[in-house]
Every structure is written in structure tokens, then in C-alpha cells.
Amino acid sequence: MPKIKTIEEINLMRPACRLAANTLVMIEPFIKAGVSTEYLNTLCHDYIVGHDAYPSPLNYHGFPKSVCTSVNHVICHGIPSDKKLKNGDIINVDVTVYLNGFHGDTSKTFYVGEPKVRAKKVTEVARKALQVGIDRVRPLATLGDIGHAIQSYVESEKCSVVRDYCGHGIGREFHEAPHVVHYGTAGEGMVLPIGLVFTIEPMVNLGSYKTKTLKDGWTVVTRDKSLSAQFEHTMVVTETGVEVLTLPDGKY
């Protein structure tokens, strides 16, 4: 059963979620050709620690870095390295921070320089896929309503939704119940209770949804090497609908 958060707990989660979002704002201007993902990792790490928080991925089930950096055909869980970004790349930076005893989780895909047609396509479909999912969130909607809306939109754009990884409840633990899959049937699945805090984070591929994990045990890539993009927010079900918690300062 999912844990429902009290108002007090949600108030404690706000700073964690806001800090994660602010980290993405901080990193954006550094994302350019010639920069290594390791450098981006260091900047995010120092920013998070500098705000008295802990980068949740670091040592999480052995993950070796503080953020995930997933470039081009990497779907998720990319490990920052000395490899440098090139013009035309797309890169998802996935930031999760632990502050006040709670986690906040958000990610965005960025363009390195000017995007090519296919990179722009998959990225803009992923951006809208997250919004289409958020738009379904309200009390008495079901998880299937969210998944169905995302899948229908993404497939109408001739892209595919990754099946092997999903959104999740979040709170005192990084990953809590329920699993929030990004495909499905309207009306099916758990009814959303007020106070449920969870993520939506659709991974959208230009080709097939099939995944493969590299020998490093973490990096998840598209089997067909097609481009993949992702956006993620942490949100709470409210009486009137939804409140996105991972908005940066200035966006409230």
C-alpha cells in the first residue's frame, strides 16, 4: 500500500523538491559541447551538498555518482564520465536530493547546441508526454488513466514508451509504492488518493521501446540504438487536482 503524506510531510518535501529543480536550473548553462558529464556531476554534487542536502543516487544500490547523465540513445541511469558532450547531443540530467529526511526527484533533457530534427522530435514528445500525464492527475483518477494518456500521445507521435522503467512513489524512501507505469488502460489500476506523492517520468524512444543494460550494470540503452528522451517531476495529489513539487524558485 502506498504511503499517503500528511500536510506536514508535504511541507517537509517542498524544499527537497525545490532544491532538485533548482539544481537543473543551475546546470543548464554549463551544458555545452566539450564539457564532460563528470564535470556536470561535480557541479551538481557541489551545489546539492552546498545546500545541506545529499545527492540520493550516490551509493544508491552502488550507483557511483551523484546524478544520472543519459546521452542520446541512453534511456536512463547513465553514469557521468570523462566523455565530452558534442554539438547535437541530447542529455538527460536526473537529479534526486535528500533533505529534511525526504527525497525530491526531477529530470530534464537538454540540447547540446542546436538539435537535429530527430533529437528535437523525441525530446519534445517526451516533454509533452510528462505534461499529458500530469494533466490526468486528480483524486479518483487511476494510474491507468495516466499511463493510457501518455502511451496514446507518444504512440500517436510514432514514438514508443519504455516499459522496463517507471515512475514511483517517493518520500522518506527514494523509491516507494506504487509503480507508476507510463502505458496502460484508462480506468485500470490504483485510484489516486489525496496526499499521494509520486513521480511521472516517461522515457520516450524514437524507435522500439526495448531496452538493454550495459556491462557496467547501470547504463540502460535502446536496443535499436534509437534516441531516447525523458522528463520527470515529483507531484502530490491534491483535493483539486495536482501540485507539481519540483518547480524551481520563481516558478510558484
Minimum distance, C-beta of residue 175 to ligand MF3, in the bound complex (Å) = 6
- Shortest CB 132 distance to Co ion, Å: 18
Contacts of 183 (CB under 8 A, 6+ apart): 147, 148, 150, 151, 161, 163
Binding partner of residue 77 among Co ion, ligand MF3, none, CB cut-off 5 to 8 Å per kind: ligand MF3
Residues within window 92-131 making contact with ligand MF3, judged by CB under 6 A: 94, 96, 105
CB 199 within 8 A of CB 234: yes
**Amino acid at site 205:** N
Helix, strand, or coil (residue 41)? helix
Q: Does 77 participate in binding ligand MF3 (rule CB under 6 A)?
A: yes
Non-local (6+) Cβ contacts of 50 within 8 A are none
Q: Is 145 in the site for ligand MF3 (CB under 6 A)?
A: no
Cα distance between residue 79 and residue 108, in whole Å: 16
Cβ 180 to Co ion shortest distance, Å: 9
Residues 6+ away with beta carbon under 8 Å from 158: none
Interface with ligand MF3 by CB under 6 A: which range of 14-22, 54-62, 128-136, 244-252? 54-62
Segment contacting ligand MF3 (CB under 6 A): 3-11, 17-25, 57-65, 130-138?
Answer: 57-65
Of 85, 90, 106, nearest to 204 by C-alpha is: 90
Asked if residue 78 binds ligand MF3 (CB under 6 A), the reply is no
Say whether residue 201 binds ligand MF3 (CB under 6 A).
yes
Asked if residue 28 lies in contact with residue 248, where contact means CB atoms within 8 angstroms, the answer is no
Q: Smallest distance, Å, CB 252 to Co ion?
A: 21
What is the nearest approach in angstroms of Co ion to the Cβ of residue 201?
A: 5
Q: Shortest gap between Cβ of 106 and Co ion (angstroms)? A: 7
97: helix, strand or coil: strand
Answer with the entry of ligand MF3, Co ion, none that 145 interacts with (C-beta below 5 to 8 A by kind): none
Mark 7-46 with x for binding to ligand MF3 (rule: CB under 6 A) and - for no binding.
Answer: ----------------------------------------
Q: Can residue 68 be called a binding residue for ligand MF3 (CB under 6 A)?
A: yes
- Quick one: which segment of 55-63, 122-130, 208-216, 244-252 binds ligand MF3 (CB under 6 A)? 55-63
CB of 41 to Co ion, least distance (A): 14
Q: What is the 3-state secondary structure (H, E, C) of 145-186?
A: HHHHHHHHHHHHCCCEECCCCCEEECCCCCCEEEEECCCCCC
Cell reading at 103: 527525497
Grid cell locating 116: 537535429
H helices present in 80-137, as ranges: 117-134
Residues of this chain that interact with ligand MF3 (CB under 6 A) are 57, 60-61, 63, 68, 77, 94, 96, 105, 201, 232
